[in-house]
Amino acid sequence: APNKNWWHHSVVYQIYPRSFFDSNGDGIGDLNGITMKLDYLKKLGVDILWLSPIYDSPNYDNGYDIRDYFQIMTEFGTMEDFDRMLEEMKRRQLKLIMDLVVNHTSDEHPWFIESKKSKDNPYRNFYHWAPGKDGKVPNRWGAAFGGPTWTYDIITGEYYLHTFTSKQPDLNWENPIVRQEVYKIMRWWLDKGVDGFRMDVINFISKVPGYPEGHVDDGRQYSDGTPYYINGPRLHEYLQEMYEQVLRHYNIVTVGECPGAHLHEAELITNPARKELDMIFTFEHMNIDGGRRQTFASVVHSGNHEGKWIPKLLDLRELKLHFTTWQKGLIGKGWNSLYWNNHDQPRIVSRWGNDSSQYRVLSAKMLGTCLHFLSGTPYVYQGEEIGMTNVRFPLLADYRDIETTNFHRDAIQSGVSLEEIMAVIYRKSRDNTRTPMQWSGSLIHGGFTNGVADVKPWINVNSNYTDINVEDALNDSSSIFYYYQKLIQLRKEMSIMVYGNYDVLHEEHMHIFMYKRFNEGIQEIIVACNFSQQSVTIDDSSLNERFKKNGRLLISNYDDNQVNNKSDWLHFRAYET
């Protein structure tokens, strides 16, 4: 039987602080801005807030490049602001989880500055250094956002490893002193009273010794090093040590971000008996509508994430198979995290819903329903609760994300047309979810920045803020906001949503995702979602009879269902749930 932890029946809300609320009118969201909006979040009903990194950083990758783990980023405020924010959260019974980015640091972190100085510097082994081969890089691994994973440093004549940009050198976890330093950081924040961590690319921390060369596709400049640094040989040993030395001493929740982890790794990491982490973020479902790695025909320079840029239509059956595999695989053995969005992914309503004015609200509610009734801990990304959409900036200069601008540069160099490039950027750029939170339809910049007209936000607000904003959502009882509020509330009232078993129905259907949550012989919930714009009828008379005898409607995105008790409930209109 699963042990019943508080985070099993919690809902997490992710805040991207830079874009949440700007309290002092400098165009950048900040901690005081978060504090000012806590009542709003409380009203939504979420329990845990996860903040993307707020530590001191040169912001080459928006805080995922940390210079000082014990300081607040100046633009976000001060440690006093942090303490006040935490206190205000606690007063409202909101928990806080921090982003822990310890696969790499900023290249401006004092450890790295020391490490560069000489081969015998005490900090040398804090990072991965290797001599070149025949005057070239130690191997041809490609980095996540384009370019090589190795950068030459002239002072000692060696290369350092960075699985992301050259401004993000990877820490060397083989070095026990590095691990102790990480544990110190963790204890320091936990002792301050935070309630857990989201751990950035935590399954990258163990590298195969010797950095073996990866596979190189024909005509490619870079090889695939991921088999040698994703889910590496000592990963579980490190996580167990971290659990033993830090995590077990606190009543907290942990979620590991794990690109390239599949069910097998998830079982190992989240099985409570193994004492590692509470849950992980998988990327399997996020990769379903992209090409395979390195298949963007014309881009030969880009790094190991280029598959994401290749347009591929969603096949709902693949998505269903993904969820079904993970639900069946982890119920009773580990724990799922459930998410549609984060700061790295496009907006779900634009992605797998329909963001036209006719269907935006309906499809956003459908998607929320589909996710929240699954087993696991749901995550809501800021703006998802009002159905914010992707953005289409006219100029590349309007984009801020390093992955997007690098991709653009590499694709141009490879001769891809600007039109094709912008089309995929509109589809997949990380800036789609990084535009400012849309608080008001009548205030300049959507009310994101506090009143000062001539200060522009660090990234432009989506011009549809006049139609899509918090103010209007709160004034409309049929808004996505209140629908999410109800979904979150239901999870608190119905333990079957948290602990029920799972099975999929009509598995092969192209448009309908139908599943059940059940406690054998006691209670059953059927969740049915039409992912298409078409009307669809499901032929299933036994289910129909069963529902007519004992069933009742719990929640639906079409208002008339509430009054009709839906006699033809196996007929689905566009995006109906």
Is position 83 annotated as part of the catalytic site? no
Instruction: Report the length, in residues, of the chain.
Output: 577
* Near Ca ion in 16-35, by CB under 5 A: 22, 24, 26, 28, 30
Q: If contact means CB under 5 to 8 A according to the sort of partner, which of Ca ion, ligand TEU, none does residue 28 touch?
A: Ca ion
Sheet hosting strand 129-130, strand order edge to edge: 129-130, 158-161, 150-153
Of 158 and 257, CB closest to ligand TEU: 257
Out of 195, 200, 276, 472, the residue judged to bind ligand TEU by CB under 6 A: 200
Inter-residue contact 384 to 473 (CB < 8 Å): no
Judging by beta carbons within 10 Å of its beta carbon (0-12, 13-18, 19+), is residue 312 exposed, middle or buried?
Answer: middle
Q: Is 142 in the site for ligand TEU (CB under 6 A)?
A: no
Q: Is 81 in the site for Ca ion (CB under 5 A)?
A: no
DSSP state of 123: T
Of 33 and 169, CB closest to Ca ion: 33
Closest contact distance (angstroms) between CB of 283 and ligand TEU is 6
Q: If contact means CB under 5 to 8 A according to the sort of partner, which of Ca ion, ligand TEU, none does residue 365 touch?
A: none
Out of 54, 96, 144, 258, the residue judged to bind ligand TEU by CB under 6 A: 144
* Near ligand TEU in 392-411, by CB under 6 A: 403
Contacts with ligand TEU by CB under 6 A: the residue count is 15
Q: Is 293 in the site for ligand TEU (CB under 6 A)?
A: no
Strand-pair partners of 280: 256, 336
Run of H or E residues at 159 = strand 158-161
**185 phi/psi in degrees, rounded to 5:** -60, -45
Q: Is 56 in the site for ligand TEU (CB under 6 A)?
A: no
Q: Is 252 in the site for ligand TEU (CB under 6 A)?
A: no
3-class SS at 328? helix
DSSP state of 517: E
Angle at 314 between CA 309 and CA 317, to 5 degrees: 140
Closest contact distance (angstroms) between CB of 104 and ligand TEU is 7
Q: Which two tokens stand for residue 283?
A: 């990327």
Q: Is 430 in the site for ligand TEU (CB under 6 A)?
A: yes
How far is Cα 332 from Cα 329, in angstroms, rounded to an integer? 8
Of 64 and 82, CB closest to ligand TEU: 64
Strand-pair partners of 255: 198, 279
The position carrying tokens 């000062």 is: 452
Q: If contact means CB under 5 to 8 A according to the sort of partner, which of Ca ion, ligand TEU, none does residue 83 touch?
A: none
3-class SS at 504? strand
Inter-residue contact 12 to 48 (CB < 8 Å): yes
Q: If contact means CB under 5 to 8 A according to the sort of partner, which of ligand TEU, Ca ion, none does residue 576 touch?
A: none
How far is Cα 228 from Cα 348, in angstroms, rounded to an integer? 32
Q: Is 162 in the site for ligand TEU (CB under 6 A)?
A: no
Inter-residue contact 534 to 574 (CB < 8 Å): yes
Closest contact distance (angstroms) between CB of 450 and Ca ion is 8
Q: If contact means CB under 5 to 8 A according to the sort of partner, which of ligand TEU, Ca ion, none does residue 56 touch?
A: none
Could you tell me the CA-to-CA distances from 28 to 10, 54, 342, 477 in Å, in that order? 29, 12, 19, 31
3-class SS at 464? helix
How far is Cα 311 from Cα 214, in angstroms, rounded to an integer? 25
Closest contact distance (angstroms) between CB of 345 and ligand TEU is 7
* Near ligand TEU in 93-122, by CB under 6 A: 101
Closest contact distance (angstroms) between CB of 165 and ligand TEU is 8
Q: If contact means CB under 5 to 8 A according to the sort of partner, which of ligand TEU, Ca ion, none does residue 289 touch?
A: none
How far is Cα 501 from Cα 516, in angstroms, rounded to an integer? 8
Q: If contact means CB under 5 to 8 A according to the sort of partner, which of Ca ion, ligand TEU, none does residue 306 touch?
A: none
Build a one-symbol-per-residue string for 377-406: x at contacts with Ca ion by CB under 5 A, - elsewhere. ------------------------------
Q: Is 201 in the site for ligand TEU (CB under 6 A)?
A: yes
Give the active site residue among 56, 65, 200, 384: 200
Is position 257 annotated as part of the catalytic site? yes
Q: Is 344 in the site for Ca ion (CB under 5 A)?
A: no
* Near ligand TEU in 341-370, by CB under 6 A: 343-344
Of 257 and 472, CB closest to ligand TEU: 257
3-class SS at 427? helix
Inter-residue contact 561 to 539 (CB < 8 Å): no
Closest contact distance (angstroms) between CB of 513 and Ca ion is 41
Of 33 and 146, CB closest to ligand TEU: 146
Contacts with Ca ion by CB under 5 A: the residue count is 5
Of 308 and 517, CB closest to ligand TEU: 308
Q: If contact means CB under 5 to 8 A according to the sort of partner, which of ligand TEU, Ca ion, none does residue 164 touch?
A: ligand TEU
Inter-residue contact 530 to 572 (CB < 8 Å): yes
3-state secondary structure 522-576: CEEEEEEEECCCCCEECCCHHHHHHHHHHCCCCCCCCHHHHHHCCCCCCEECCCC
Q: If contact means CB under 5 to 8 A according to the sort of partner, which of ligand TEU, Ca ion, none does residue 181 touch?
A: none
CA 510 centroid distance within chain = 26
- Determine the straight-line distance between the first and last CA of the chain, rounded to whole angstroms: 31
Give the active site residue among 257, 284, 401, 524: 257
How far is Cα 247 from Cα 232, in angstroms, rounded to an integer? 21
Q: Is 205 in the site for ligand TEU (CB under 6 A)?
A: no
Q: If contact means CB under 5 to 8 A according to the sort of partner, which of Ca ion, ligand TEU, none does residue 308 touch?
A: ligand TEU
* Near ligand TEU in 25-54, by CB under 6 A: none
Closest contact distance (angstroms) between CB of 262 and ligand TEU is 15
How far is Cα 311 from Cα 167, in angstroms, rounded to an integer? 29
DSSP state of 336: B
How far is Cα 170 from Cα 1, in angstroms, rounded to an integer? 39
Catalytic residue numbers, as ranges: 200, 257
Binding site for Ca ion (CB under 5 A): 22, 24, 26, 28, 30
- Which residues contact ligand TEU by CB under 6 A? 61, 64, 101, 144, 164, 200-201, 257, 259, 305, 308, 343-344, 403, 430
